[in-house]
Amino acid sequence: MSIGKRRGAMMLVKRFRVIGILLALALLASACVAAPAAETGQDMAADEAMDSGDSGALTGKLTLNPGSYYPSESMEWSETNPNPHNMILTLIDEYQALHPGVEIELVQPPPGDVSSREYIVTNMTAGTIPHVVYTLTRDQVEEIGKNWWVNLDSYLEQPNHYVEAGEPGSERWLDLFYEVPFQANRILGSHYTLNYSIVTSMMFYNKDIFEEVGVEVPTTLAELLDVFQALQDAGYTPYGGIGSWFMYETLGQLGGSIMAELTPQVNPDGGPANFEEVACAIDRGVFRAETPEYREWMRLMKEVAKFRTQDWTDKNANAITKWLQGDIVVVEDGSWRVKQNKLNPNIEFEWGMFYAPKCTQESSPVCTGTPAPPIGGAPGGFAITKSAIEDGLVDLAADFLMYLSAPQNAERLINDLGNVLPLQKGAAPADPDLISILENLQDHEGEAAMWTYYDKTNLESRLEIWDLKNAYILDQLTLDDAVAQIDEIKTMYASDFISDNEVDCSALGFE
């Protein structure tokens, strides 16, 4: 059924249920990255498609899971529908009008309690994965070599004929995107995801309570801890976030400041730090928990955690509701919070934003005052799956992604969602607050160069390390024990990654 016919039936769409979750979890534990010693099936499919030079009319039925761009059931704001949006329907209708032989069917994303990785592993294994899915690059890295994803490199070298002549991307699709955040998510040098937008996180704070207590926005870690102490002394809960994992967004940035002196050793060529460099830095003993910098990072994490909500270790805990009610003063959240706050008529206080502070010698002798790199990158996007290869729809899928990424279309889709920032040159956020954030991130290395960020390793190891950090913060482990166990996990991951992918650390500048 076409999207045009389905508009009136959106309320009847049944909630998508992911099958085989137990199978997914089993595969998740054993998944590893295979070495791309020879050209993969995805690579050959893409090369053959580009070599064919077929300019005939596009035809076929394409299935698409657009992730967060999936239309909301209503365009009316409510507490259960805080971000109404439906632009994907308009863009699909327009594309189908341009290509009458094409039909695009939307597939509803999985429920919120099913991770994107569970969804991918389950549906790839069952053969039910849509032709195009919105996914996170970090959820692909362990499957390169399984022929699950189409290598997009050859397509990105082609002109995007939906971009106005003379504009970036019109002659070479790759040139459409801001280079630093887009290139940061290559896997072993190639693009398997069309990274589509930039997301960032920051601290949101209650301006009214700051004024009442007499504190100002902190710029250093020492100032942040002083502000938290003053808020706590005044009877407030200073700090909260979305479960324990979200604390490591800000603390990851803090690590970037604390460990700045090691950056030339971890990232010898500068620019984005990739999976290979981080693995080599671990393997060669540079990025280890036993270093003085990492130990100080752990100690300072514990200092910050003293001021969090009591339920911070619960990964399902969400302090946002309490912050909206004025019960928590500072909360960590992402760029999506800006639109939701502005649409929410129930917020009764003035609010503002600030970024993670830098670490100075006032907090630790290892700190140099280097600014904490801002969280801001292109963590995910649209990927073409093995289903498109099997059904002969790789060309159609790539052409549709060209259409979605053209600035005039990306701007509409991204602004309709309103919680991420355009990665395409020529597309601008509609919200002035997001424009200033984009200007800070579009040419900034941000988390792309932040090798301390948890995305630079695989899912299994980072979950285990999170648990060890939590155990240390909760006094269930000594610092020495936590450091030893973290290094055991890190070195095992690095060894496997280097071996599986035949990474030459010497060629990357590691002695």
Domain CATH for 342: 3.40.190.10
Q: Are residues 371 and 286 in the same domain?
A: yes
**Residue 191 phi/psi, 5° resolution?**
-100, 120
Residue 213 lies in a domain: yes
Alpha helices in 39-178 (DSSP H): 41-52, 87-98, 116-126, 153-156
Boundary (domain end) residue, out of 310, 345, 376: 376
Q: Are residues 100 and 225 in the same domain?
A: no
**Longest CA–CA separation in the chain, Å:** 71
What pLDDT is recorded for position 313? 72
What pLDDT is recorded for position 466? 86
Q: Are residues 174 and 204 in the same domain?
A: no
What pLDDT is recorded for position 344? 86
Give the whole-angstrom CA distance, residue 201 versus residue 467: 22
Give bridge partners of residue 239 from the DSSP assignment: 308, 330
CA 153 to mean position of chain CA atoms: 21
Q: Are residues 390 and 335 in the same domain?
A: no
Residue 474 lies in a domain: no
Structural tokens at position 329: 């003063």
Residue 21 lies in a domain: no
What pLDDT is recorded for position 54? 39
Give the whole-angstrom CA distance, residue 469 versus residue 165: 52
Closest-CA residue to 347 (of 84, 77, 86, 112): 77
Q: Are residues 392 and 289 in the same domain?
A: no
**Total domains present in the chain:** 2
Give bridge partners of residue 331 from the DSSP assignment: 204, 240
Q: Domain containing 90: what range?
A: 3-8+38-196+378-425
Give the whole-angstrom CA distance, residue 93 versus residue 400: 12
Structural tokens at position 343: 């649409």
Q: Are residues 308 and 400 in the same domain?
A: no
Q: Are residues 331 and 216 in the same domain?
A: yes
Q: Are residues 207 and 237 in the same domain?
A: yes
Q: Where are the beta strands (DSSP E) in 264-318?
A: none
**pTM for the predicted model, two decimal places:** 0.68
What pLDDT is recorded for position 24? 37
Q: Are residues 242 and 149 in the same domain?
A: no
CA 394 to mean position of chain CA atoms: 25
Using 50 as the pLDDT threshold, list the residues of the chain that sit under it: 1-55, 246, 442-446, 448
Boundary (domain end) residue, out of 339, 358, 376: 376
Give the whole-angstrom CA distance, residue 239 versus residue 464: 24
Q: Are residues 54 and 147 in the same domain?
A: yes
Compute CA distances 305 → 192, 295, 308, 312, 471, whole Å. Answer: 37, 16, 5, 8, 12
Determine contact, residues 172/349, Cβ cutoff 8 Å. no
Boundary (domain end) residue, out of 351, 376, 401: 376
Residue 465 lies in a domain: no
Determine contact, residues 490/461, Cβ cutoff 8 Å. yes
Q: Are residues 182 and 230 in the same domain?
A: no
Q: Are residues 191 and 58 in the same domain?
A: yes
Give the whole-angstrom CA distance, residue 260 versus residue 294: 11
Neighbours of 79 (CB within 10 A): 9
